[in-house]
Structure 1
C-alpha cells in the first residue's frame, strides 16, 4: 500500500478504495473542456489528488501523479 510520512509523524496510507484521506480535484479550465454527457472515468483520470493529514491538517498534493513526490502545504 502506498504511503508517505507527514512531517508530524503520521503515516498517510492511500492505497485503499475508497480512501478517507484522498480528495480529487480538477482545474476550472480543464473542467470547462467537458460539455454535455461526460464519461465519469475519463473525468476521473484527468483529476489530480491530494491527501489530508487528519492529525495536523497538512495537505499533500500530487501535482504530477503518484509516481512523483507530493508537494506539502501547511495550513496556518
Structure 2
C-alpha cells in the first residue's frame, strides 16, 4: 500500500484508508476524502510540497504532510 503523496501527475487512484486525526480528519472527510473515493492528481507545486487533486468534481490542494496520511490503491 502506498500513500497519496507518491501518486504521479495524471494518475487516478482510489482511497484505501485515512490515518489523519482530529481536525485534519474532519476536514478531509468534509472534502470527500473517504474510503473508496476516486482522486486524480492534477499538478504538483514546487518541491512537491503542495499537490492539487480532483475529487468528486472539485479541486483541492493538500500539503505533503496531509497527503502522506492518505493510503491509496
The interval holding the TM-score normalised by the smaller chain is 0.3 to 0.5
TM-score, reference length from structure 2: 0.33
TM-score, reference length from structure 1: 0.32
Larger radius of gyration: 1
Q: Which structure is higher in RCO with an 8 Å CA cutoff and minimum separation 6?
A: 2
* Larger helix proportion of the pair: 2
